[in-house]
Structure 1
Amino acid sequence: MSSVLGRKVRDLRQKKGMTLEQLATATGSSKSYMWEIENKPVARPSAEKLGRIASVLGVTSEYLVDEERTEPPVADDFDRAFYRKYQGASDPVKQKLKRILDVLDDE
């Protein structure tokens, strides 16, 4: 029996038409590690690895580990996740992001 995380990762991977090997490569993991995430009853990837998996699958890390939430997040969830990362960023990183957004806004 796989974990909630494992079932969500497998379902999202299959919906994207990705093989286990493609997901492993995209996340910088081994195929056997991704197999364990999808199939072991207890999966505990690091926060960094979980973030990579979520990013490749187009969801938030919180969604992947939330046992009660069955539907993938909507845009507001991504906005909140981005804002949390932004809040924790250093001032130089915040300034770079502001400049990037200014350039994109001009297009």
Structure 2
Amino acid sequence: MSLSIQERLKDLRVERGLTLGQLAEQTGLSKSALGSYETEDFKDISHYALIRLAKFYGVTADYLLGLSEMKNHPNADLADLRLSDEMIDLLKSGRIDNTLLCELAAHPDFPRLMADLEIYVNGTALKQAQGANAIVDTMSATVIKKHNPGMSDTQLRQLITAHIDEDEFCRYVIQRDINGIALALRETHKDDFFSVPEDNPLKER
């Protein structure tokens, strides 16, 4: 899902609210050349134009060429990222789409997913749910002792249904987080793929 050089150049220009004419004035490159760099039938860009645009936008030439996804931190120290050897090996292996992984991690709701996952993994959610369940169980026992209602009693049923299955609830919250991000990413890339032609030989007959 890596962006093409045309898409990167257009996105950078649009992010800055510039027209092709304004960009031409500020970079000294011709408007026609700049326009051609953003078209689908783009074939080549001069070394001078590449360096000029990279410097103007404050990105690396590698980013414009699609050789790197680091736009604002080209010299980031790998050690500062605190990645494990296993993670580095995975990222270098080509077994996963690193660009999609970056989009996942950069999504606004990703920190919430990580927070919910951390709460689930470290047992905080379990302890909180157990505390809430203990209160509900105490109230249920009190109601039964004082009033001895049947199991069809509305108030007793409300207390029983208030009992939390902590594991199931936490997994539901995490799944909800993931689903929301996945749907947003799919919406972002909905126009990236060609639709299946009507004469597709794989289509069921």
Alpha carbons of structure 1 residues 12 and 50: separation in structure 2 relative to 1, 3 Å: same
Higher-Rg member (1/2): 2
Confirm or deny that 1:57 pairs with 2:57: yes
RCO comparison, higher one (Cα < 8 Å, 6+): 1
- Structure 1 counterpart of 2:42: 42
Unaligned runs of 5+ in 2: 77-205
In structure 2, what is the equivalent of residue 72 of structure 1? 71
TM-superposed deviation, 1:75: 4.8
Q: Which residue of 1 aligns with 2:20?
A: 20
Amino acid at match of 2:26: A
Per the alignment, residue 87 of structure 2 pairs with: none
Q: Measure how far apart 1:26 and its partner are.
A: 2.0
1:15 is displaced (CA, Å) by 0.6
Q: 1:59 to 1:20 in 2, by over 3 A?
A: same
C-alpha displacement of 1:36: 0.5
CA shift digits 1:22-73 (9 cap, x unpaired):
1122221111111100114233111111000111111111100116x44524
Alpha-carbon distance between aligned partners in 1 of 2:74 and 2:61, rounded to the nearest angstrom? 14
Comparing 18-27 with 6-15, greater Cα deviation is found at: 18-27
Q: What's 2:150 paired with?
A: none
User: Is the CA contact (8 Å cut-off) linking 1:23 and 1:56 kept in structure 2?
Assistant: no
The structural deviation recorded for 1:9 is 0.5
Q: Give the structure-1-normalised TM-score.
A: 0.59
Q: Report the structure, 1 or 2, having the larger helix content.
A: 1
Q: Is the 8 A contact 2:59 2:72 kept in 1?
A: yes
Task: Give secondary structure in 1 for the equivalent of 2:41.
Answer: coil
8 A Cα contact 1:54 1:60, kept in partner: yes
Normalising by structure 2, we get a TM-score of 0.33
Structure 2 Cα separation of the partners of residues 38 and 71 of structure 1: 20
Distance across 2 between alignment mates of 1:23 and 1:43: 20
In structure 1, C-alpha distance between the alignment counterparts of 2:43 and 2:37, rounded to whole Å: 5
What secondary structure, in the 3-state scheme, does the structure 2 residue paired with 1:9 have? Answer: helix
Question: Structure 1's 43 and 55: CA in aligned 2 closer, same or farther, altered over 3 A?
Answer: farther
In structure 1, distance between residues paired with 2:43 and 2:57: 17
Give the unaligned 5+ runs of structure 1: 78-107
